A and B are shown apart, each in its own frame.
Chain A
């Protein structure tokens, strides 16, 4: 028989001539064998300057039982190594700190932003959920989650209900989620604003773990705007209470004139400066409003999302994200751009001034500061016969922060005030059915 490419072209042309009208839409057929579909991913996250490196792998499995009843489960494992900025400020001399375990010391070079003691942590997480129709136009969904790492465990559950209106053009949903997390820091929980002491002295720590409870409420609205556009708007309310401190973050106590960390003479091994452990409130209420739109311009699809968040720690944030999926060959290419900006928490302090009254709450954690972050990335995906798809994504994340002018004291002005962060993210994905 003739070359099969010619066969297909000839067949398509002959069929077109026979049927007259052009039948535009390509076939979309899929064998339903066991009903299991999988999505797997492997991710590498690496920050510059040898800070945090993370490798994670996740597999999500979903089974369709027909009649819109679905079960899904996700298993994630990740290994984190490296260190983040601890909150202490950089100095012109090297600095020594007691490690979290209280059994050793680690040093930071002169001029460098102090990082936490390097750690290796492996986390496992498992989430499962079940979705089913409750009545005509009503869908209910329930899920549980569990995760564990060496100093932290999480247990959570969620429940949500959705109702369709208006020929399924509109969907309203409401959901609630509870979680209880247990924190058991290495070396014990530091007393808030206690001073970092010498190796072997744990009078500044409390034994035993602490817990953190979170309650989340979600109200959602999804609306088909027209044949090519769909909109979703979510309002979330979140209430956390319990142990919200980061047990490994510090603040440097500095001289009011020079802005340099007060020196300290350790007895034996210990810190050579005055550092206090951070203190955060034991409750936090967050509210956020999120909107996203997907619009098809012919074959390409654009996705735009915006989120506004505000909380009672004084942090306000705006997030804007845009993606454009463009067909390319047998696959697609999807450039992505994300812009994030947040204002500092009320109790964010770059450092504590010696002699001034000690505030009730203080943290120099860069994640609570004033910063902008931008992510640029691109994703390429390719479908295979059988409906499977593999994809690869590369992103660059850059965080640039600033410290309020009134908090920059003396010599701090000529050093890096905010530990800017940049990271590369590479992700492989593969979706398949069995």
Chain B
């Protein structure tokens, strides 16, 4: 995938807007009223961090760490600290979801194409792929990782939210206390509140009518993450199968909400809650309610 390495900065009424593309999503940052040079620095730092993470963890790029890991499935690889942290985090999520979430479930992509069509693979196809799925099949002893032959890892489920938080850290490093909103394709974080107390306004897209925001959430501080099936699903026999697959069965989650948005202190936490809730299918709301987090369903 060829990402455009261009980041543009424009000025709105009382804030700056920086735009670029990363991780196959439109990304933007909104920076509160500061000097142009600082806004440009902030944009550069955020875009660089987004592209760095994309380069390192994209499964498409031949120069990424993930590609290197997947290529050497069957033998040991050594990973760096950041990758090790992500693997530990993924392992925790697998445990918390009792196996439903699994970064090794990427191979199931071969059976499912979520294009709005109605193609559903056969059980045999799925069973064949399931042989290569399962964190329990992975040898992970930090910093050494060994996948079985034919297995693949994919950080797609947590990468974007992690990138948002990591970019926010970078901004905090060069401009502590600055209020800026980082939005990578719907995963949003605001580290510090705006000086005049005005919140940033985030529109949550309406699933049924593309492009029209159904709700506006005023985010003074914190993060929002959204998980939904709006653009990637399979429709068959009156059921809508979202693109989120349960790694234990190889099948997509059924009767999950169309879209879940969660507000939490960090984007990673928000994103994790949406994913774990989605994986509960029809019980998504009870998980969210008990988590105590603010959430919005569609």
Which chain B residues numbered 239 to 276 have a C-beta less than 8 Å away from chain A?
263-266, 268-269, 272-273, 276
- Residue-by-residue, is A14-37 near B (CB-CB < 8 Å gives 1, otherwise 0)? 110111110101111111110000
B216 contacts A by Cβ under 8 Å: yes
Q: B272 contacts which chain A residues (CB < 8 A)?
A: 11, 14-15
A7 contacts B by Cβ under 8 Å: yes
* Given A11-B96, A17-B89, A28-B199, residue A4 in contact with residue B287 (CB < 8 A): yes
A1 contacts B by Cβ under 8 Å: yes
Candidates A2, A18, A168; contact of B162 at CB < 8 Å: A18
Candidates A2, A18, A26, A33; contact of B86 at CB < 8 Å: A18
**A19→B165 contact, CB < 8 A:** yes
A385 contacts B by Cβ under 8 Å: yes
Which chain A residues numbered 24 to 55 have a C-beta less than 8 Å away from chain B?
25-33
* Given A14-B93, A15-B272, A31-B215, residue A25 in contact with residue B191 (CB < 8 A): yes
How far apart sit A307 and B169, CA to CA, in the bound complex (Å)? 45
**B287→A12 contact, CB < 8 A:** no
Q: B165 contacts which chain A residues (CB < 8 A)?
A: 19, 23
**B268→A32 contact, CB < 8 A:** no
- A-B interface, 9 closest residue pairs, ranked by CB to CB distance from nearest: A27-B222, A4-B290, A29-B263, A28-B220, A14-B92, A18-B89, A32-B216, A30-B218, A28-B221
**B269→A15 contact, CB < 8 A:** yes
Among residues of A, the one whose C-beta sits closest to the C-beta of B204 is: A31
B217 contacts A by Cβ under 8 Å: yes
**9 cross-chain CB contacts under 8 A:** A2-B98, A4-B290, A8-B292, A14-B88, A17-B89, A26-B222, A28-B219, A29-B224, A31-B217
How far apart sit A12 and B92, CA to CA, in the bound complex (Å)? 11
* Given A19-B169, A26-B222, residue A7 in contact with residue B96 (CB < 8 A): yes
**A29→B219 contact, CB < 8 A:** yes
**B169→A29 contact, CB < 8 A:** no
**B222→A18 contact, CB < 8 A:** no
B206 smallest CB distance to A (angstroms): 14
**A30→B199 contact, CB < 8 A:** yes
A434 contacts B by Cβ under 8 Å: no
How far apart sit A17 and B88, CA to CA, in the bound complex (Å)? 9
Among residues of B, the one whose C-beta sits closest to the C-beta of A169 is: B195
A134 contacts B by Cβ under 8 Å: no
Q: A32 contacts which chain B residues (CB < 8 A)?
A: 201, 215-218
A10 contacts B by Cβ under 8 Å: yes
Among residues of B, the one whose C-beta sits closest to the C-beta of A27 is: B222
B55 contacts A by Cβ under 8 Å: no
B77 contacts A by Cβ under 8 Å: no
- Residues of chain A touching chain B, judged by Cβ–Cβ distance below 8 Å, are 1-2, 4-5, 7-8, 10-12, 14-15, 17-21, 23, 25-33, 68, 167-168, 385-386
**B169→A1 contact, CB < 8 A:** no
Residue of A15, A31, A385 most packed against chain B (CB within 10 A): A15
Given A25-B191, A29-B222, list of 18 further CB < 8 A pairs? A7-B96, A11-B272, A12-B269, A14-B92, A14-B272, A15-B272, A17-B89, A18-B88, A18-B268, A25-B193, A28-B221, A28-B222, A29-B263, A31-B216, A33-B216, A168-B195, A385-B294, A386-B294
B137 smallest CB distance to A (angstroms): 21
B64 contacts A by Cβ under 8 Å: no
- Residue-by-residue, is B184-206 near A (CB-CB < 8 Å gives 1, otherwise 0)? 00000001110110110100000
Size of the B side of the interface (Cβ < 8 Å), in residues, is 47
* Given A29-B218, A29-B220, residue A11 in contact with residue B273 (CB < 8 A): yes
B235 contacts A by Cβ under 8 Å: no
Among residues of B, the one whose C-beta sits closest to the C-beta of A227 is: B177
How far apart sit A31 and B191, CA to CA, in the bound complex (Å)? 18
Which chain B residues numbered 209 to 238 have a C-beta less than 8 Å away from chain A?
215-224
Among residues of A, the one whose C-beta sits closest to the C-beta of B162 is: A18
Candidates A10, A20, A27, A28; contact of B96 at CB < 8 Å: A10
Q: A29 contacts which chain B residues (CB < 8 A)?
A: 199, 217-220, 222, 224, 263, 294
B256 smallest CB distance to A (angstroms): 14
Q: A17 contacts which chain B residues (CB < 8 A)?
A: 85, 88-89
Q: A1 contacts which chain B residues (CB < 8 A)?
A: 96-98, 276, 280, 287
A258 smallest CB distance to B (angstroms): 65
**A28→B85 contact, CB < 8 A:** no
How far apart sit A27 and B198, CA to CA, in the bound complex (Å)? 14
Candidates B162, B195, B221; contact of A27 at CB < 8 Å: B221
How far apart sit A19 and B88, CA to CA, in the bound complex (Å)? 12
* Given A1-B280, A23-B266, A168-B195, residue A31 in contact with residue B86 (CB < 8 A): no
B177 smallest CB distance to A (angstroms): 9
Candidates B88, B92, B221, B276; contact of A25 at CB < 8 Å: B221
B140 contacts A by Cβ under 8 Å: no
- Residue-by-residue, is B274-292 near A (CB-CB < 8 Å gives 1, otherwise 0)? 0010001000000100111
Q: B290 contacts which chain A residues (CB < 8 A)?
A: 4-5, 7
Q: A11 contacts which chain B residues (CB < 8 A)?
A: 96, 269, 272-273
**A30→B220 contact, CB < 8 A:** yes
Q: B223 contacts which chain A residues (CB < 8 A)?
A: 27
How far apart sit A31 and B224, CA to CA, in the bound complex (Å)? 12
A56 smallest CB distance to B (angstroms): 30
Which chain B residues numbered 59 to 102 have a C-beta less than 8 Å away from chain A?
85-86, 88-89, 92-93, 96-98
How far apart sit A30 and B220, CA to CA, in the bound complex (Å)? 8
Among residues of B, the one whose C-beta sits closest to the C-beta of A18 is: B89
Among residues of A, the one whose C-beta sits closest to the C-beta of B168 is: A23
Q: A167 contacts which chain B residues (CB < 8 A)?
A: 195
Q: B294 contacts which chain A residues (CB < 8 A)?
A: 27, 29, 385-386
**A14→B192 contact, CB < 8 A:** no
Among residues of B, the one whose C-beta sits closest to the C-beta of A168 is: B196
How far apart sit A23 and B164, CA to CA, in the bound complex (Å)? 13
How far apart sit A385 and B265, CA to CA, in the bound complex (Å)? 15
Q: A15 contacts which chain B residues (CB < 8 A)?
A: 89, 266, 268-269, 272
B57 smallest CB distance to A (angstroms): 13
Q: B219 contacts which chain A residues (CB < 8 A)?
A: 27-29
How far apart sit A19 and B162, CA to CA, in the bound complex (Å)? 8
Q: A4 contacts which chain B residues (CB < 8 A)?
A: 287, 290-291
Q: A27 contacts which chain B residues (CB < 8 A)?
A: 219, 221-223, 263-265, 294
